[in-house]
Amino acid sequence: MEYFEVLLPSLLAGVWVTLKIFCLTIIGAIPIGIIVGLGLKSEFAPVRWLLNGYVWLMRGTPLLLQLIFVFYGLPIIHITFERYDAALFAFILNYAAYFAEIFRGGFQAIPTGQLEAAKVLHLNSWQTQTRIVLPQVFKNVLPPMGNEIINLIKDSSLVYVIGIGDLLRAGNIAAARDVTLIPYILVGIIYLLLTAITTLILRRLETYFSYYK
Amino acid sequence: MITLKNIKKSFNGRIILNNLNLEIKDGEILAIVGPSGAGKTTLLRALVGLDTIDSGEILVDNQAFDPSNNANDKNMIGVVFQDYNLFPNLSVRENIGLAPRLVLKQDKQVVAQQTNELLTKLRLADKAKLYPFELSGGMKQRVAIARALAMQPKVLAYDEPTSALDPSMRNEVANLLLALKKDGVTQIIVTHDVELANKVADNIFTVTPLS
C-alpha cells in the first residue's frame, strides 16, 4: 500500500499529460476533420487532390514516424517545436485525416433529397449545414469516431518517444527504478479505466442521438 | 399566372423537353400527366429551380422569373416531394416552423401560432412532437404539405403525391388539394394517377415522351 502511495503522484501527473494530449487533439482534430471532410467532396478538383494527398500521407505512414519527423526531423530545416507542441501538431494532423475520412462518409450519407428540400425552402448554405446536415452527420459518424477516439487514448502513449512525461513514461520510469511489474500493471489498469469511461460517454452520446432515425 | 415558353431541356444529349409551352392560371389545379420518362418531373424540377433549363422562358405575371435565383420571392413556389424529404432530425413542429423562422425571419410566437394552425388544418395536432420515422406515409405527406404551406407559397407543386399511398389515403389527398384550392393556392401536380388528375384538376397537361 505504501508503494502505491509513492507511485500514485507520478502516475497521476502522467495521466494529466495523457488527458491533455487527448483532449487538445480532439478539440483540434474534429473541426479540421469536418473542414477537410467537406473539402474532400469539393467540386474543385485541385482542392480534392490536395486533401486526398494529405489524408493518404497521414493515414499511410505511422504516427510514430510523424512524431519523430516533427520533433527530430523538422529542426534540420530550422523548424523547431517544443516537445509538447510537436506532439500536438503531429497528433492533430494525423487524427484530423482519419476524422476527415469519417466525416466525408457522414456527409455522403445525407440523402440529396434533403438538400433539395432545404433549397426549395430557401435555407442558405450555413442554415442547411448547421440545422440539417451536421446534426445528422454527427449521429452517423459517432460509432466510427468512437473507435478512433479510443485509439487516440492508447496512441497518446507514443509521445514517450519524444520524451514527454505521459502515463506510460511515468510507469516505465517507476518500473525501471524499482525493478517491479506493478507500475506497468497500474498503467494498464489506468488505460483500461480511461477507455471504459470514454466508451461510456460515447454510448451516452449515441443514446442521446437515438431520438430519431 | 405562370407561363412557360419554348422550354427545352436535355440530359446527356437526349432531349427531354422540346419547345414546351404551358400556362398555369392563378388559383387553378394543373395536373401534369404522362408516362414514365416523359419529362414530367424534369419539368417540375425546372419550374422550382432544382434543375436549369437549356433554353426558353419562365414568366410570372409576364415578368421573367429565374427559379434557381435564391434572391427570388421566397413565397413563390412550395414543393411537396414524392419521398417527402422531411428532415429526420427535426420533429414535425420543427420541420414546419424551421423555414418561416430562419428564412422569412418571422417572430417565434407568430411561427408557433401559424404552425399550430397548420397542424390543426392538416390533422396533425397530436403529432407535433413526433419525428418523421414515427409517422405513416400519409402523415409524412401531410407534414410535407404543411411545411411547404408554412412559407405561404403562391404556388404549391407536388411530385407524385399519391404514389406511396393506399387508396383510402388517395381520396384524402384529393380532398386536401380541393380544400387548398378553396384557399386560393395555385397547385401543380405531377402524377401518374389519372384518376386523381380527373378528380381535382382544372386543367390536365400531358407530357409525351420524345422519340
Interface of A with B in 136-175 (CB under 8 A): 136, 139
**Backbone phi and psi for residue B205, each to the nearest 5 degrees, phi listed first:** -115, 125
Q: Are B200 and B29 in contact (CB under 8 A)?
A: yes
The yes-or-no verdict on residue B69 having pLDDT over 80 is no
At A204 the pLDDT is: 95
Interface-testing mutation among A114, A116, A121, A133, with chain B (most B C-beta atoms within 10 A): A121
List, in order, residues 6 or more apart from A164 with CB less than 8 Å away.
A17, A21, A83, A84, A87
Which single residue is written with the C-alpha cell 413556389?
B77
Write the pLDDT tens digit of every residue in A72-95: 999 999 999 999 999 999 999 999
Contact A114 B89 (CB under 8 A): no
The ipTM assigned to this model is: 0.91
Interface-testing mutation among B79, B96, B101, B102, with chain A (most A C-beta atoms within 10 A): B102
Q: What is the mean pLDDT of chain A?
A: 94
B64 confidence band (pLDDT: 50, 70, 90): confident
Contact A212 B132 (CB under 8 A): yes
Q: What HEC string does chain B produce?
A: CEEEEEEEEEECCEEEEEEEEEEECCCCEEEEECCCCCCHHHHHHHHHCCCCCCEEEEEECCEECCCCCCCCCCCCEEEECCCCCCCCCCCHHHHHHHHHHHCCCCCHHHHHHHHHHHHHHCCCHHHCCCCHHHCCHHHHHHHHHHHHHCCCCCEEEEECCCCCCCHHHHHHHHHHHHHHHHCCCEEEEECCCHHHHHHHCCEEEECCCCC
Burial class for B166, CB neighbours closer than 10 Å (0-12, 13-18, 19+)? exposed
At A58 the pLDDT is: 97
Which single residue is written with the C-alpha cell 502513449?
A157
Alpha helices in chain A (DSSP H): 2-39, 45-60, 63-68, 83-108, 112-120, 125-127, 134-155, 167-178, 182-208
Proportion of chain B above pLDDT 70, given as a percent: 98
Give the residue extent of every domain in chain B: 1-76+153-211, 88-151
Q: Which domains, ranges and CATH numbers included, belong to chain A?
A: 2-211 (1.10.3720.10)
At B72 the pLDDT is: 65
A59 confidence band (pLDDT: 50, 70, 90): very high
Write the pLDDT tens digit of every residue in B81-123: 999 999 999 999 999 999 999 999 999 999 999 999 999 988 8
**Sign of the alpha-carbon dihedral angle for A89, A93, A94, A100:** positive
**How many interface pairs between A and B have CB atoms less than 8 angstroms apart?**
61
A112 touches chain B (CB under 8 A): no
Q: What HEC string does A96-153 produce?
A: HHHHHHHHHHHHHCCCHHHHHHHHHCCCCHHHHHHHHHHHHHHHHHHHHHHHHHHHHH
Which single residue is written with the C-alpha cell 406515409?
B137
Contact B89 A135 (CB under 8 A): yes
A52 confidence band (pLDDT: 50, 70, 90): very high
Cα–Cα distance, A210 to A199 (Å, whole number): 16
* Grid cell in block for residue B191: 402524377
Interface of A with B in 49-78 (CB under 8 A): none
Cα–Cα distance, B123 to B154 (Å, whole number): 22
A190 confidence band (pLDDT: 50, 70, 90): very high
Contact A111 B103 (CB under 8 A): no
Which single residue is written with the C-alpha cell 422562358?
B57
Q: Are A30 and A209 in contact (CB under 8 A)?
A: no
Looking at per-residue pLDDT, the higher value among A4 and A94 belongs to A94
CATH T-level topology, domain B1-76+153-211: Rossmann fold (3.40.50)
Which single residue is written with the C-alpha cell 423555414?
B99
Cα–Cα distance, B149 to B117 (Å, whole number): 11
Q: Which of A94-108, B91-105, B152-166 has the lowest mean pLDDT?
A: B152-166
Closest CA to B30 of B209, B177, B179: B177
Cα–Cα distance, B202 to A59 (Å, whole number): 61
* Grid cell in block for residue B165: 399511398
- Taking the mean position of all CA atoms in its chain, how far away is CA B10? 23
Proportion of chain A above pLDDT 70, given as a percent: 100
A60 confidence band (pLDDT: 50, 70, 90): very high
At A126 the pLDDT is: 94
* Grid cell in block for residue A158: 507514443
Write the pLDDT tens digit of every residue in A117-170: 999 999 999 999 999 999 999 999 999 999 999 999 999 999 999 999 899 999
> How would you label A168-199 residue by residue, b for 16+ Cβ within 10 Å and e otherwise?
bbbbbebbeeeeeeebeebbeebbeebeeebe
Q: At what angle do helices B92-102 and B137-149 cross, to 10 degrees?
A: 20
Which single residue is written with the C-alpha cell 401536380?
B189
Q: Are B156 and B134 in contact (CB under 8 A)?
A: no
User: 10 Å Cβ neighbour count for B29?
Assistant: 23
